[in-house]
Amino acid sequence: PMGRCTKSGMDGRTYEMTVLQILPPAVEPLSLPDLKQHLRIETTDEDDLLTALIVAARSHVETVTGTILIAQQFRQFLDDWPSGEVVLERYPVLSLDSVQIFDEDGEPQSLPADQIYLDGISRPCRLVLREKPVSGVPINGIEIEFTAGHGATSVDVPATLRRAVLELASHWYEFRGAVAPHQQPVSVPASFTALIQPPKSFHL
């Protein structure tokens, strides 16, 4: 999956920014056996369909909540550095893997780790750099690779979001004869909205 947006650079001009998934999750937040048990399915005839529904449900939860569930690696391209901090377009960020700029010959140069500060918990996640070396390439001359998600396994994902994936996949299974997994979401169950609501703030 790839996303695009625009940001203001140091010179005040607007630049395109692209985010590309380069490594998908190794596992899903909901296992096939757990979904089959929930649906009381004992045969293997529909395993491929159920697996596709899990992937589609996880992707939809990530889209509507703006939260990556299972660890995935992303590459964010910048035309130019923004005037302030660098916003990472996925949340939460587990690790910063590399920051590279390309010189006029198109050769990558890695920025030292001690020049970069990551805040992977705030929303949005952000980077602060001691220096912002100028790229010699006018388009996509800066590449930031990072790993986002709550963790590498399903138990790292908040229970409410795992439940949301289960509710969604189960609901879509009911419409399996009319709507393919890649055509979802056509509808969502009433319980789904409550599960993905952010927690309320309490003031003493």
- Over residues 12-33, the pLDDT tens digits come to 444 456 899 999 999 999 999 9
* Closest C-alpha among 91, 142, 92, 141 to residue 116: 142
pLDDT at residue 184 greater than cutoff 90: no
pLDDT digits 0-9 by tens, 170-179: 999 988 766 6
pLDDT of res. 190 = 76
Confidence of residue 180 (pLDDT cuts 50, 70, 90): low
Dist. CA 42–CA 50, nearest whole Å = 12
Helix 47-65 to helix 32-39 angle (10° resolution) is: 100
* Closest C-alpha among 64, 48, 61, 19 to residue 157: 61
Q: Write down the H helix ranges in the chain.
A: 32-39, 47-65, 159-174, 190-196
Q: What angle do CA 89, 17, 19 make, to 5 degrees?
A: 50
Whole-number CA gyration radius for the chain: 20
Place of tokens 């004992």: 42
Q: Which two tokens stand for residue 46?
A: 């529909």
The residue count of the chain comes to 204
Alpha carbons within 13 angstroms on the beta-carbon side of residue 199 total: 7
Please, are residues 142 and 81 in contact by the beta-carbon 8 Å criterion? yes
pLDDT of res. 16 = 57
